[in-house]
Amino acid sequence: MAALGRAALLLALGLILYALVAGSFAAWRRRRRLALSAQNALLAAFPATLVAAIVLWVALGRRDLTLRYVAAHTSRDLPLGYALAGFWSGQEGSLLLWLLILTAYAALAVWLNRRTRELIAWVVPVLGLVATFFAFMLCFVSSPFDVAPAPADGAGMVPSLQNPYMLAHPPLLYLGYVGLTIPYAFAMGALLSRRTDERWIVATRRWTLAAWTFLGVGQLLGAHWAYVEIGWGGYYAWDPVENAALMPWLAATAFLHSVMIQEKRGMLKVWNVVLVTLAFCLSLFGTFLTRSGVINSIHSFSQSPIGGWFLGAIVVFVLLSVTLIYLRLPLLRARTKLESLVSREATFLYNNLLLVALCLTILWGVVYPLLSEAVRGETRSVSKPYYDFFLHTFGLPLLLLMGLGPLVAWRRASLRSLGRTFLVPLAAAVVTGGVLLALGFGSSWPGLLAYTFSAFVAASIVLEFARGRAATGSVVRLVRRNRRRYGGYVVHAAVVLLALGIAGSSAYQTQRESVLKPGQALTAAGYTLTYRSSAATRGPNYTGFRAAVDVSRGGSHVTTLHPGMNDYAIEGPSNEVSIYHDPRSLGDVFTSAQAVKGGSIDLKVFVKPLINLIWVAGLVFVAGSLIALWPDAVEERRLADRYAAAPA
Amino acid sequence: VTWAYVLAAALVLVAVVFVARPFLREPSPLSDRLDEPGSEERRRLELAEERDRSLAALKELEFDHRTGKVSDEDYRAQVGPLRRRAAEALRALEPREGSQRDHGSPDARRLS
């Protein structure tokens, strides 16, 4: 089995290397058959990688402990679903997942764009270069098919990974990370072929949006996973692994907005290729962060077999991209200028600056402790206050801009028309802010501002739909007429829900902790939690306990929660939280418990208002993205007409 | 292990044939040159993009005007230059696309 896996990976490397070398030569010397042959090599790399992936999955399913990777990430009593998910729980498997998704995407992108031969001829070697790096790593540096004498049992899977989210969260993140390679490859292909028209943007619109959606959903699933599994009462800790996914998402968000200015006004061509490069390099950096061991310590990074390779690859991609952009600057000059600082495109520009500033401050927060340890030998950490400060500084104006942007016309807007369009959202914001202030929400200014700005944005979105409906006669017709715009507004609505959920659950949460004997109670934000008893529990590969905690409000019983611990035979202990979702406040009563001697428990309680809006936001986000992604027949015809006479 | 090597060899064989396919299908083609757009074609694409951009901007302006986002004054100030730009792009495109479509295209008629 391992031999087949290794052979398939070597074959994939050979094909990808051929796509890189032959593809580059063919594009440079304008050789048609060689270019087609390089494309075929890239197409064939996917089935070859798939064979390797199937071999690993079969080995994981059969618990073939002769494979070091299988022995390190599964055990005989690990449920099958988690054993199969072991594919992406370790370094070697994650690299294989990267390559599998990349070759699948590359094959699809080549096939879909096979008629745009002149551009795709250069895209193939760029994709080949990225894929060569991963295939090389898998063949010679970090192979999932290394064999050793089988141990009596495997090391198992970390308890916190034994959660249904393990099946979906990592693959979704990888679909997003890897997806950003496609727009990057097309951008570089366009620069290499000197085709700096909009064709590369047209070809990658949906790729970028899909990758961005996968990254967004993946992060939300990860946040929910952390919330229900880790047991510390939060969902986002500004952990470098979490930031690793947030940074490319922010860069891609900026790109999705700025690319519209290029399409509508022919501006920001340089900025767009810089952003797409930044998003791609950050996705590589994210994989490097999570897989090199650099987060634990700079020293573990130097011991990691992949750390240096990854860092080298990132440096190479940054240097190549910057050089290429510099060489093509004359072709990227805009012919139009920003007409007014009060216009839709100007608000997009402000939004871009804030998004990139937020992204870079997060990057600095991640990199600074590593640099400090590497240069000075001092272990430093950048903690929550740093990130919170910049989230408030850049995030709150971003939220406000999200409401302002749609109200401002393209090119320029007069004060009179602005006054008319701003009236309703402004009134909604002022009334909301005033009422909340009177109700005592001034205890947290960032929270109050988030609620107030959210009211402004929500009102502006409702107003946009209402006015559009009045003009077109129906919401369906309105959305069909411009799916990207109205899909975007639905995504904005998701961000409003997200902002409300984050503000409510962080700025206005209540936290209590107490050691309780049976019959004793604690109160938190109007809830009374009474500890009744504890009982032992047993699962397929663990034993543990669950406490019974009655929750009441205003003297009425609401529910009984069962927080506790699991003790996994091989992997160790794990918190098992218990949560009550309050349908009235859209908030949660979150509990976790640890056993204390004499039948007592250490009960931790968080009351988190509006937190469920965060998860609802995920659904709305997907709906908005799907609306924007849905094919538009009129647009397709227009583009087909535009490129009809272009060389095939 | 033997069956694994046989399977691997079969995979390699299929891959090699697939990669060599363009050469097997056309052993001696009339032209092996990868097309690239000439300056005329590049100019046509630029104009087509400009045409689409101007027409989309006009459509957007009209919609924003109808929904009250753009005042009458702003609309009057912006619609003229946008129409001119779209018409210029269409006029410049027509001789190039004359062989492909009717000179009196719907877009041109709309702007005339």
Q: Note the pLDDT tens digit of each residue in A401-422.
A: 999 998 888 888 777 888 888 9
Region A223-251: what's the mean pLDDT? 91
Region A470-491: what's the mean pLDDT? 91
Is B48 in Cβ contact with A4 (below 8 Å)?
no
Query: What sign does the dihedral A537-A540-A543-A547 (CA atoms) show?
Result: negative
pLDDT at A571 over 70: yes
From the list B18, B31, B78, the residue facing A411 with the nearest CB is B78
What's residue A648's pLDDT? 43
**Stretch among A181-195, A542-556, B46-60 having the lowest mean pLDDT:** B46-60
Nearest alpha-carbon partner for A358 in A460, A467, A247: A247
Is B5 in Cβ contact with A410 (below 8 Å)?
no
Region A512-533: what's the mean pLDDT? 95
What's residue B96's pLDDT? 60
Nearest alpha-carbon partner for A430 in A401, A466, A455: A455
Distance from the Cα of B27 to chain A's closest Cα (Å) equals: 10
What's residue B67's pLDDT? 84
Angle at A88 between CA A84 and CA A93, to 5 degrees: 100
- CB-based contacts of A293, cutoff 8 Å, min separation 6: A300, A301, A303, A304, A307
pLDDT, tens only, A627-636: 999 988 888 8
From the list A51, A416, A643, the residue facing B71 with the nearest CB is A416
**For the residues of A190-257, what is the DSSP string, one character each?**
HHHTT--STHHHHHHHHHHHHHHHHHHHHHHHHHHHHHHHT-SS-S----HHHHHHHHHHHHHHHHHH
The encoded tokens of residue A456 equal: 């402004």
Q: A413 contacts in B (CB within 8 Å)?
A: 70, 74
Q: B97 contacts in A (CB within 8 Å)?
A: 645
Q: A269 contacts in B (CB within 8 Å)?
A: none
What's residue B104's pLDDT? 44
What is the distance, to the nearest Å, from the Cα of residue A49 to the centroid of all Cα atoms in its chain? Answer: 24
Nearest alpha-carbon partner for A87 in A56, A109, A63: A56
pLDDT at A49 over 90: yes
Distance from the Cα of A212 to chain B's closest Cα (Å) equals: 25
Give the Cα separation of A417 and B70 in Å (integer).
Answer: 6
pLDDT at A172 over 90: yes
CB-CB contact of A91 with A142 (8 Å): yes
Distance from the Cα of B24 to chain A's closest Cα (Å) equals: 10
pTM for the full predicted model: 0.91
Q: A644 contacts in B (CB within 8 Å)?
A: 100
- Model confidence at A46, in pLDDT bands (50, 70, 90)? very high
- Model confidence at A303, in pLDDT bands (50, 70, 90)? low
From the list B11, B37, B49, the residue facing A48 with the nearest CB is B11
pLDDT at B112 over 50: no
pLDDT at A234 over 60: yes
The encoded tokens of residue B28 equal: 């001696």
- Model confidence at A539, in pLDDT bands (50, 70, 90)? confident
pLDDT, tens only, A17-26: 999 999 999 9
From the list B19, B41, B68, the residue facing A647 with the nearest CB is B41
- CB-based contacts of A478, cutoff 8 Å, min separation 6: A465, A468, A469, A471, A472, A486
Considering only alpha carbons, which residue of chain B is nearest residue A478? B63
What's residue B103's pLDDT? 41
Q: B11 contacts in A (CB within 8 Å)?
A: 7-8, 11, 47-48, 51
Tell me which of A103, A339, A411 to substitute to probe the interface with B (most B C-beta atoms closer than 10 Å).
Answer: A411
Q: B41 contacts in A (CB within 8 Å)?
A: 645-647
Give the Cα separation of A495 and A125 in Å (integer).
Answer: 37
Give the Cα separation of B103 and B90 in Å (integer).
Answer: 10
Is A642 in Cβ contact with B41 (below 8 Å)?
no
pLDDT at A64 over 90: yes
From the list A48, A198, A645, the residue facing B15 with the nearest CB is A48
Distance from the Cα of B90 to chain A's closest Cα (Å) equals: 12
Q: Answer left, alpha or beta for residue A534, where phi above 0 means left and psi between -120 and 50 means alpha.
A: beta
pLDDT at A352 over 70: yes
pLDDT at B108 over 80: no
What's residue A339's pLDDT? 82
More reliable by pLDDT, A255 or B54 = A255
Is A26 in Cβ contact with B32 (below 8 Å)?
no
Is B100 in Cβ contact with A48 (below 8 Å)?
no
Tell me how many residue pairs between chain A and chain B have CB atoms under 8 A apart: 149
Distance from the Cα of B18 to chain A's closest Cα (Å) equals: 7
* Look-up of token digits 């400090």: A372
- Model confidence at A159, in pLDDT bands (50, 70, 90)? confident
From the list B5, B18, B21, the residue facing A3 with the nearest CB is B5
pLDDT, tens only, A109-148: 999 988 887 889 999 999 999 999 999 999 999 999 999 9
Residues A242, A177, A317, A26, Cα dihedral to 10°? 180
Q: B33 contacts in A (CB within 8 Å)?
A: 30-32
From the list B21, B41, B69, the residue facing A409 with the nearest CB is B69
- Model confidence at A302, in pLDDT bands (50, 70, 90)? low
Considering only alpha carbons, which residue of chain B is nearest residue A267? B53
Q: B63 contacts in A (CB within 8 Å)?
A: 468, 471
Considering only alpha carbons, which residue of chain B is nearest residue A465? B67
Region B6-27: what's the mean pLDDT? 94
Measuring CA to CA, how many Å separate B39 from each of A378, A520, B96? 58, 84, 12
Distance from the Cα of A334 to chain B's closest Cα (Å) equals: 12
What's residue A382's pLDDT? 85
Distance from the Cα of B5 to chain A's closest Cα (Å) equals: 7
Interface confidence, given as ipTM, is: 0.83
Distance from the Cα of A125 to chain B's closest Cα (Å) equals: 15
Give the Cα separation of A128 and B77 in Å (integer).
Answer: 50
Q: Answer left, alpha or beta for residue A121, where phi above 0 means left and psi between -120 and 50 means alpha.
A: alpha
pLDDT at A645 over 70: no
Give the Cα separation of A513 and A522 in Å (integer).
Answer: 8
Nearest alpha-carbon partner for A454 in A624, A212, A617: A617
What's residue A597's pLDDT? 81
Measuring CA to CA, how many Å separate A96 from each of A10, A86, A280, A512? 12, 12, 18, 44
Counting residues of chain A whose pLDDT is more than 70, the rounded percentage is: 98
Tell me which of A33, A201, A415, A418 to substitute to probe the interface with B (most B C-beta atoms closer than 10 Å).
Answer: A33
pLDDT, tens only, A68-97: 999 999 999 899 999 999 999 889 999 999
Query: What sign does the dihedral A559-A560-A563-A569 (CA atoms) show?
Result: negative
What's residue A299's pLDDT? 53
Distance from the Cα of B20 to chain A's closest Cα (Å) equals: 6
Region A573-578: what's the mean pLDDT? 90
**Stretch among A473-477, A564-568, B93-97 having the lowest mean pLDDT:** B93-97
pLDDT at A459 over 50: yes
- Model confidence at A297, in pLDDT bands (50, 70, 90)? low
pLDDT, tens only, B37-79: 777 888 888 888 888 888 888 998 998 888 888 888 888 888 9
Q: A4 contacts in B (CB within 8 Å)?
A: 4, 7-8
Instruction: Kindly report the average pLDDT of chain A as a whole number.
Output: 92
